[in-house]
Amino acid sequence: MSFLLSAHSTHYPHEIFMDANATTPVLPELQALMSRVYNTHFGNPSSPHYAGIRAKRILSDTRAEAGRLFGCASDRILFMSGATEGINTAVLSVLQLYAGGRGKGHLLLYGATEHKAVPEALRHWNELLRVGAELQAIPVNEDGLLDYDFIRSQVPHAIMICTMGANNETGVFADLQQLEQVIRSAAPQVPWLVDCVQMLGKRPVALGKTTIDYAPFSAHKLYGPKGVGAMYVRDGAPFTPLQTGGGQEQGLRGGTENVAGVAALGQIFAWLNHPETSPFQDADTLYGYRHEIITALRAAFPGLIVNHPLTGSLPTTLNFSVAGYSSAELIAIFDAAGIRVSAGSACSTGGTRSFVLDAMGLPAWQSEGAIRMSFGPAFSQSDLDALVERLTFIREKITGVNGWGQGALYIPQPLAAGMGWILCRSTQQVLALKEPHSVMEDIRACCGSSDWQLREWNQTAQDFAGFRIEPDAQGIRVTALATMRSLVLTDAGIALTDDIHPIALGVAELHCDHMALIDVRETSEARAQYHQDTESCFVSIPRALWCDYLLTAELQDTPEPVFFCRSGRRASDVARLALSVGWPQAAVCTAAASEVFDWIQKPKDPDS
């Protein structure tokens, strides 16, 4: 486990985790409880001796707390690995009744904004058991609420209906009483699953008083550990174990129970049964916190739009978009400032838009640029103060940033583009090396002004703003007059020498005393970086200025330059470029920028 101890042993004091709908940290009280369980209650709950009996009591105590919380008999609660297992168990339990084509002509209904565990489980078991039913998404309106008329008309043909208590991306919650009336008036018996993962601790869940058949929960969404959860199963609901084995959970779920995890779950249920003893805030306080977060965010990003109704969504979830920013750009800015957020759901990494917001019919830019900021009910006033301070920091850093800098030689996407230009700020002149039409558009977009005077290069050797531009066999040679370093622009981009193998470093190999760290992220992201830089030598080079910097920077006495960015890819492009224009050395740090800053700020261990 050395990787855990070496690379990740840093405590992250600067990190503000605002992605609670993806997961939450395990509260110290629960860590301590689990540690006690590991020490004293490690017995196998199926063993007949006292060590086993002690462990078994944890299961029965937790079941009793769950029964109290959900208003049901405690034996209606099964422990399992989490909500995904619960969802699969419920779907299997129903669909096995229709195996071998007996579902033909029937529907499997699920909400269009369901977590993908639901439609995936339906699809999987429908295929595997050859049920032959048709999956049908229930549409939602622009507020994210299910279309009741659609349910009324379709549910009589359904063999199962799956809805959610609260949505993980928007926090929009269902009126379960109303929904129950709609479903039961049209289909009194249809098995009904309600995914209660995001509701727990935020909305009341009196399951025993409802006709809900299956309700899965997950501990890690409410400060418990990952890999443990529970499912309520209504008495009389169809049931088939997903896994069998040693007869655990009354034979309904084989496998030795995660006793420590269940103990944590039990403490969470106990807190919800006795809120006065819990570390959780009440809903009004949480709504107040969310309001203050929105105010601070709007100050930093005036174009912010909230993507869901504020009443009718969990107080702990905020989903928004900012005109002019993609979600990747916003995540990068927040991440640099030490605020961890997500674009939509954590489970859909890589997607460029939100299917939830698409289903709600929001405009494409809102869906493509969506950010989810979520916190848990244990969020406190001091957490809020820290977040607001950090959002103010972002506002101060990025207001007015246009990525333009002071620079002269600007070549968009240097390794791929076939165009570039040089600015002379004192005369407000632009010399376009290629493609003069798009140059002016870019300049307007970058500096918001059309006062620049455009000149075209006359295709002969010419000096402009400190550079000599001349034709070259391969394309256009641009040389910085102060250093005589040059690069060649070709139609395919910037010509690089082939024999370049920059050294890739991990963060632990950085030795700041002998290296210059060069940050090549976007301007806004680099400026939002939250760090207390003490002694190290830093240069931040916005994309617009790489070429200018690489050609004009003083290299004498420069320590070895190490380029870094978010993922390492851009950094290695720039390092290759540096070597190709004549820098004697260059290295790439493959660690993410925030890791580099964490490392620099960490007090140095004299022994290491």
Residues that bind ligand PLP (CB under 6 A): 82-84, 115, 117, 164, 168, 195, 197-198, 218, 229, 347
Instruction: Select which of 72, 196, 347, 537 is catalytic.
Output: 347
Q: How far is the CB of 227 from ligand PLP (least distance, A)?
A: 8
φ, ψ of residue 358 to 5 degrees: the values are -60, -45
Using a 10 angstrom Cβ sphere, with 0-12 exposed, 13-18 middle and 19 or more buried, the burial of residue 577 is buried
φ, ψ of residue 77 to 5 degrees: the values are -105, 125
Q: How far is the CB of 356 from ligand PLP (least distance, A)?
A: 11
DSSP class per residue in 545-607: GHHHHHHHS--TTPPEEEEE-SSSHHHHHHHHHHHHTT-S--EEE-S-HHHHHHHHHSPP-TT
Q: How far is the CB of 578 from ligand PLP (least distance, A)?
A: 42
Buried b (16+ CB within 10 A) or exposed e, 485-510: bbbbbeeebbebeeeeebebbebeeb
DSSP reduced 3-state for 7: helix
Partners of 162 in beta bridges: 110, 193
Nearer to ligand PLP, 229 or 405 (CB): 229
Q: Which amino acid is at 194?
A: V
HEC per residue, 327-389: HHHHHHHHHHCCEECECCCHHHCCCCCCHHHHHCCCCHHHHHCCEEEECCCCCCHHHHHHHHH
Alpha-helical runs (H) found in 432-471: 436-447
Q: How far is the CB of 602 from ligand PLP (least distance, A)?
A: 32
Instruction: Give the contacts of 86 (CB within 8 A, at least 6 positions apart).
Output: 78, 80, 214, 215, 216, 217, 229, 230, 231
Residue with tokens 């809102």: 366
By Cβ distance, which residue is nearest to ligand PLP? Answer: 82
CA-closest candidate to residue 89, choices 240, 213, 245, 248:
240
Q: How far is the CB of 242 from ligand PLP (least distance, A)?
A: 13
Dist CA 321 CA 323 (whole Å) = 7
Is 347 designated active site?
yes
Q: How far is the CB of 195 from ligand PLP (least distance, A)?
A: 5
DSSP reduced 3-state for 224: coil
Q: How far is the CB of 143 from ligand PLP (least distance, A)?
A: 18
Nearer to ligand PLP, 168 or 327 (CB): 168
Nearer to ligand PLP, 197 or 488 (CB): 197
CA-closest candidate to residue 578, choices 552, 540, 596:
552
Dist CA 579 CA 105 (whole Å) = 66
Nearer to ligand PLP, 359 or 476 (CB): 359
Nearer to ligand PLP, 19 or 383 (CB): 19
φ, ψ of residue 71 to 5 degrees: the values are 65, 45
Residue with tokens 């490392």: 599
Nearer to ligand PLP, 319 or 552 (CB): 319
Q: How far is the CB of 125 from ligand PLP (least distance, A)?
A: 16
Using a 10 angstrom Cβ sphere, with 0-12 exposed, 13-18 middle and 19 or more buried, the burial of residue 148 is middle
Nearer to ligand PLP, 166 or 520 (CB): 166
Nearer to ligand PLP, 83 or 476 (CB): 83
Dist CA 394 CA 334 (whole Å) = 8
Partners of 517 in beta bridges: 538, 562
Nearer to ligand PLP, 229 or 338 (CB): 229
Q: How far is the CB of 23 from ligand PLP (least distance, A)?
A: 8
Nearer to ligand PLP, 233 or 586 (CB): 233
Q: Six-digit token pair at 99?
A: 């195996």
Q: How far is the CB of 85 from ligand PLP (least distance, A)?
A: 7
Q: How far is the CB of 160 from ligand PLP (least distance, A)?
A: 16
Is 152 in contact with 185 (CB distance < 8 Å)?
yes
CA-closest candidate to residue 173, choices 150, 200, 152, 193:
200
* Angle, CA of 315, 316 and 317, to the nearest 5°: 100
Nearer to ligand PLP, 170 or 198 (CB): 198
Q: How far apart are the first and last CA of the chain?
A: 19
DSSP class per residue in 178-220: HHHHHHHHH-TT--EEEE-TTTTTTS---GGGS---EEEEEGG
Nearer to ligand PLP, 88 or 327 (CB): 88
φ, ψ of residue 454 to 5 degrees: the values are -90, 130
Q: How far is the CB of 503 from ligand PLP (least distance, A)?
A: 39
Catalytic residues: 347
